[in-house]
């Protein structure tokens, strides 16, 4: 394998065993959250919190031992600003349900740990190469499991766990939209491996097959937001790819991939896909967003308290339903309601800084493991940010943890860039 000039300047000895343990300990924790039904139960949230705290202690001890506890990612300062807003809600008793805010704040501690490890734990190109392989293998196997379960379903998760409150299950999730949210963040990893130049021909074909399998599973899950977001993500990656490389072989491979996707989808779906879009009825979700505006008007600056949307919303609901509205079905509206204009401004600043710090790494990503990992993470984030307009993936602990891990990975300053 040829190592590019970007990677030659790094430490020839490579990362140590502790670096692998910290980085992939976090990855294992993220995978656990996904497989544990999205980590929506109290026991799985506790495992995430305890695991994240343990990994952070290991990381901090490693940095103290090395004599370097500095961090260079500007996103971490913005995350600290958001934490200060939540602290202010509790200290000044601005939360309408302090326990709900405290409980949610502990979850955000997991997200902060994922952001830090994603940013600071994978600066070496060897670690990023291993990460791309692990995430590509996981999303391929996970999508295969989801498809097998879908075609052999007995109505239970893993064929043994009943749905206590109903739902449209897919993979390990009760809600099919949350399955698609997770997979749309990870499918760019095998797709980038297939599109880049870091692997040989057979390995690239295998990676392309994994991406194809994962993409088909998103469409077969029936999530309309997932279908649209995945399509936009793939188009975004295609734009990045064809800006720099327009070889005939690359164009042919891209066309073959798209044809294989359409054929596989048509064979497995058998017409149900169009029915999902014919059944489109966004009125209720749109009405929740409109109601959210009234909530912001009453508490404009710091909101109703992190994690308190479901508590505060019933007084503002303007339509009849037998269902309990537990989330806004729009992550942007929900963060605006819960943390006010100030918290929302920090979130927007966070996203702007994320794109700003990542844009410079789009150049020649096909020849670099470091940049390939960053581009794959960014494409996945773009897909989920689009999906967040019509769903609440960022209120699901497993998906939110993966999201912030990818934020750190996409925006970090790799040693090869220093």
Give this prediction's pTM.
Answer: 0.92
Cα separation of 207 and 163, whole Å?
Answer: 33
Query: Cα separations (Å) of 104 from 87, 306, 338, 360, 394?
Result: 12, 7, 11, 34, 12
Res. 1: pLDDT tops 50: no
pLDDT of res. 413: 67
Which residues have CB under 8 Å from 268's CB, separation 6+? 147, 216, 220
Cα separation of 57 and 80, whole Å?
Answer: 18
- Residue 343: which of 300, 386, 376 has the closest Cα? 300
Which one has a higher pLDDT value, 193 or 10? 193
* pLDDT tens for each residue of 131-185: 999 999 999 999 999 999 999 999 999 999 999 888 899 999 999 999 999 999 9
Mean pLDDT of the chain: 88
- The domain limits of the chain are 15-417
* pLDDT tens for each residue of 347-359: 999 999 999 988 7
Res. 8: pLDDT tops 60: no
Res. 412: pLDDT tops 50: yes
**DSSP string across 126-168:** HHHHHHHHHHHHHHHHHHHHHHHHHHT--SSBTTTB--TT---
* pLDDT tens for each residue of 30-44: 999 999 999 999 999
Res. 9: pLDDT tops 60: no
Contacts 24+ apart (CB under 8 A), 155-163: 157/37, 161/37
Please, which pLDDT band fits residue 324 given cuts at 50, 70 and 90?
confident
Mean pLDDT of 359-374: 81
In this structure, what token pair is assigned to residue 186? Answer: 């990870």
pLDDT of res. 362: 73
CA atoms within a 13 Å half-sphere pointing along the CA-CB vector of 144: 9
pLDDT of res. 265: 64
pLDDT of res. 263: 66
Secondary structure in 3-state letters for 276-313: HHHCCCCHHHHHHHHHHHHHHHHCCCCCCCCCCHHHHH
Length of the chain: 418
Res. 418: pLDDT tops 90: no
Mean pLDDT of 332-349: 98
CA atoms within a 13 Å half-sphere pointing along the CA-CB vector of 317: 18
Q: Quick check: 208 and 257 in contact, CB under 8 A?
A: yes
* pLDDT tens for each residue of 223-275: 989 998 988 888 888 777 766 665 655 666 666 667 676 666 666 665 566 55
Beta bridge partners of 173: 170
Res. 105: pLDDT tops 50: yes
pLDDT of res. 83: 97
pLDDT of res. 365: 78
Cα separation of 404 and 144, whole Å?
Answer: 25
Burial class of residue 102 (count of CB atoms within 10 Å of its CB; 0-12, 13-18, 19+): middle
pLDDT of res. 256: 67
């Amino acid at each position: 394998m040829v190592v590019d000039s970007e990677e030659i300047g790094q430490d020839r000895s490579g990362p140590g065993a502790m670096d692998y343990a910290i980085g992939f300990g976090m990855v294992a924790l993220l995978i656990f959250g996904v497989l544990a039904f999205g980590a929506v139960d109290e026991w799985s949230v506790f495992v995430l919190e305890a695991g994240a705290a343990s990994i952070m202690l290991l990381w901090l001890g490693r940095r103290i031992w090395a004599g370097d506890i500095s961090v260079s990612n500007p996103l971490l300062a913005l995350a600290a600003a958001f934490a200060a807003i939540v602290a202010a809600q509790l200290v000044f008793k601005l939360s309408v349900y302090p326990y709900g805010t405290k409980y949610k704040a502990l979850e955000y501690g997991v997200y902060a740990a994922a952001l830090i490890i994603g940013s600071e734990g994978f600066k070496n190109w060897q670690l990023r190469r291993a990460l791309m392989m692990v995430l590509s293998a996981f999303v391929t196997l996970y999508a295969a499991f989801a498809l097998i379960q879908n075609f052999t379903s007995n109505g239970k998760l893993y064929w043994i766990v009943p749905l206590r409150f109903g739902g449209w299950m897919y993979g390990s999730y009760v809600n099919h939209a949350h399955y698609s949210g997770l997979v749309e963040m990870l499918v760019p990893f095998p797709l980038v491996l297939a599109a880049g130049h870091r692997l040989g021909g057979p390995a690239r074909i295998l990676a392309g097959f994994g991406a194809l399998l994962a993409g088909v599973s998103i469409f077969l899950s029936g999530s309309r937001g997932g279908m649209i977001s995945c399509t936009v993500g793939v188009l975004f990656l295609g734009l990045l790819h064809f800006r720099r490389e327009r070889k005939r072989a690359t164009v042919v491979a891209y066309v073959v991939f798209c044809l294989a996707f359409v054929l596989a989808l048509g064979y497995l779906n058998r017409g149900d896909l169009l029915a999902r879009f014919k059944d489109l009825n966004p009125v209720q979700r749109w009405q929740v967003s409109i109601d959210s505006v009234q909530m912001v008007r009453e508490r404009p600056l710091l909101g109703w308290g992190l994690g308190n949307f479901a508590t505060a919303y019933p007084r503002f609901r303007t339509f009849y339903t037998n269902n309990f509205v537990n989330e806004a079905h729009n992550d942007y509206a929900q963060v605006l309601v819960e943390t006010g204009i100030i918290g929302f401004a920090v979130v927007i600043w966070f996203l702007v800084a994320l794109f700003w710090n990542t844009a410079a790494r789009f150049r020649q990503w096909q020849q670099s493991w470091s940049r390939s990992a960053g581009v794959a993470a960014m494409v996945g984030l773009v897909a989920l940010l689009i999906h967040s307009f019509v769903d609440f993936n960022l209120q699901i602990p497993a998906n939110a943890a993966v999201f912030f891990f990818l934020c750190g990975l996409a925006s970090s300053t790799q040693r090869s860039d220093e």
